[in-house]
């Protein structure tokens, strides 16, 4: 309803929808309400909807659950400056939490957001901006754990775990969003990509984080058609650690990239990627692998002051696009001698 503060749930309350398709909790145009140590449940719809002009609400030590198909445990639409702390949001057949259009400046702390179905997520951000998830757990056993979509700007995942286990599905997917930040976090999917940044996403950054993927032929960090992606002081491990395609202004500094597939690469930039600046990074590839692979790129591709260890190729520079400039400066490249195969510190082939 409208108006000033109203305490909507108090200590140890249970809120359950009266009919199968109803929401257990709905707020609109309200300020400074609280849900504390409560259980909010809907069998057939969203468990809770925090709608337009819902501001400065507190969710504390509470559990939100829905079992309905395509429903969310908590959905925020046009709701701002709300705090979700020490709480659990569970939707096995839909989204754990949704920050929709106009859901801005919300903070999730020490909470879990989980789903168990494909095409949904533990946390989905669709048009919400400047939201922060800190010290929390985001998981999906069948699809994306985290999905950040177009119109979502300046959202941050800090000190959190983002995990998935399904094949051909990234744990975290950032698409057409601006300035998404992963700080001091763990992103993992042992069966696929850990993080995909694509579809004109801009300004995505990974800082002091661990990114681990496991899909054969799928990079732990996959960047495609994105601009200004940065990886700083982070550890990335996968079949191929990092794959960059048709992207521009990619920056890497102080990272560690480890390829685990026999023929994998530590870092790949290909398919008309424009501009790379990679420095102070340790890159490791296995017996038949490639440390750094550059193919079909444009602009200045600068690889400097890195340590590159690989069993077959340290740096492999294939045919570049017109106008490309490849700078390899002050790198330490370690490739063993092998009787069975030719090995190369740097190979220009094209």
Lowest mean pLDDT among 31-40, 79-88, 119-128: 31-40
Residue 350: pLDDT band with limits 50, 70, 90 = confident
**Alpha-carbon dihedral 48, 62, 158, 204, rounded to 10 degrees:** -10
Q: Is the dihedral of CA 343, 301, 243, 285 positive or negative?
A: positive
Q: What is the pLDDT of residue 215?
A: 86
Name the pTM for this structure: 0.95
- pLDDT tops 60 at residue 9: no
Tell me the H-state helices in 182-239.
none
- Dig out the tokens for 331 from the structure: 């790198």
Give me the percent of the chain exceeding a pLDDT of 90: 90
Instruction: Answer for the pair 57, 78: CB distance below 8 angstroms, yes or no.
Output: no
Under the banding of pLDDT at 50, 70 and 90, the label for residue 170 is very high
Contact indicator for 80, 57 with CB cutoff of 8 Å: no
**CA neighbor of 49 nearest in space, from 15, 26, 65, 72:** 26
The pLDDT confidence band at residue 17, using thresholds 50, 70 and 90, is: confident
Mean pLDDT of all residues belonging to the chain: 94
> How far is C-alpha 349 from the chain's CA centre?
34
**The pLDDT of residue 8 is above 80:** no
Q: What is the pLDDT of residue 223?
A: 98
Q: What is the CA radius of gyration of the chain?
A: 23
Average pLDDT over residues 109-122: 98
What integer is the mean pLDDT of 157-181? 98
| Spatial CB neighbours of 25, under 8 Å, sequence gap ≥ 6 | 8, 9, 15, 35, 40, 47, 48, 49
15 vs 189, residue with greater confidence: 189
Burial of 7 (0-12, 13-18, 19+ CB in 10 A): exposed
Query: What confidence score (pLDDT) does residue 11 get?
Result: 56
Q: Which two tokens stand for residue 189?
A: 């999917």
Nearest Cα to Cα of residue 224 among 241, 208, 247: 247
pLDDT tens string 20-68: 667 999 999 999 999 999 999 999 999 999 999 999 999 999 999 999 9
pLDDT band at 18 (very low <50, low <70, confident <90, very high): low
- In this prediction, residue 3 carries a pLDDT of 40
Q: Which residue has the higher pLDDT, 209 or 21?
A: 209
What are 81's two structure tokens?
A: 């400056």
pLDDT at 14 over 80: no
If pLDDT is split at 50, 70 and 90, which confidence band does 340 have? confident
SS3 content of the chain, % helix, strand, coil (to 5): 0, 50, 50
Q: What is the pLDDT of residues 100-113, one digit of tens each?
A: 999 999 999 999 99
pLDDT tens-digit map of 137-168:
999 999 999 999 999 999 999 999 999 999 99
């Amino acid at each position: 309803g409208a108006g000033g503060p109203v305490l909507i749930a108090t200590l140890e309350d249970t809120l359950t929808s009266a009919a199968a398709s109803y929401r257990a909790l709905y707020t609109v145009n309200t300020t400074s309400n609280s849900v504390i140590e409560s259980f909010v449940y809907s069998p057939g719809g969203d468990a809770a909807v925090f709608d337009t002009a819902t501001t400065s609400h507190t969710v504390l030590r509470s559990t939100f659950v829905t079992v309905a198909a395509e429903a969310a445990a908590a959905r925020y639409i046009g709701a701002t400056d709300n705090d979700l702390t020490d709480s659990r949001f569970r939707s096995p057949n839909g989204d754990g939490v949704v920050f929709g259009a106009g859901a801005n400046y919300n903070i999730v702390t020490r909470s879990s957001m989980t789903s168990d179905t494909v095409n949904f997520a533990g946390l989905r951000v669709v048009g919400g901006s400047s939201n922060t998830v800190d010290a929390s757990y985001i998981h999906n056993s069948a699809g994306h754990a985290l999905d950040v979509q177009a119109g979502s700007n300046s959202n941050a995942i800090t000190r959190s775990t983002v995990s998935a286990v399904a094949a051909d599905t990234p744990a975290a997917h950032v698409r057409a969003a601006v300035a998404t930040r992963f700080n001091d976090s763990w992103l993992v999917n042992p069966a696929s990509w850990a993080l995909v940044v694509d579809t004109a996403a801009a300004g995505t950054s990974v800082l002091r984080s661990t990114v681990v993927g496991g899909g054969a032929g799928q990079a732990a960090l996959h960047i495609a058609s994105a601009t200004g992606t940065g990886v700083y002081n982070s550890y990335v491990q996968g079949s191929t650690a990092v794959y960059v395609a048709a992207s521009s202004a990619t920056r890497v500094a102080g990272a560690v990239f480890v390829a685990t597939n026999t023929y994998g690469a530590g870092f790949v930039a290909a398919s008309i990627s424009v501009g790379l600046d990679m420095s102070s990074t340790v890159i490791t590839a296995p017996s038949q692998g490639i440390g750094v692979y550059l193919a079909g790129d444009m602009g200045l591709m600068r690889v400097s002051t890195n340590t590159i260890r690989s069993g077959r190729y340290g740096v492999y520079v294939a045919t570049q696009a017109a106008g490309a400039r490849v700078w390899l400066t002050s790198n330490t490249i370690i490739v063993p001698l092998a009787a069975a195969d030719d090995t190369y510190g740097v190979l220009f082939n094209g």
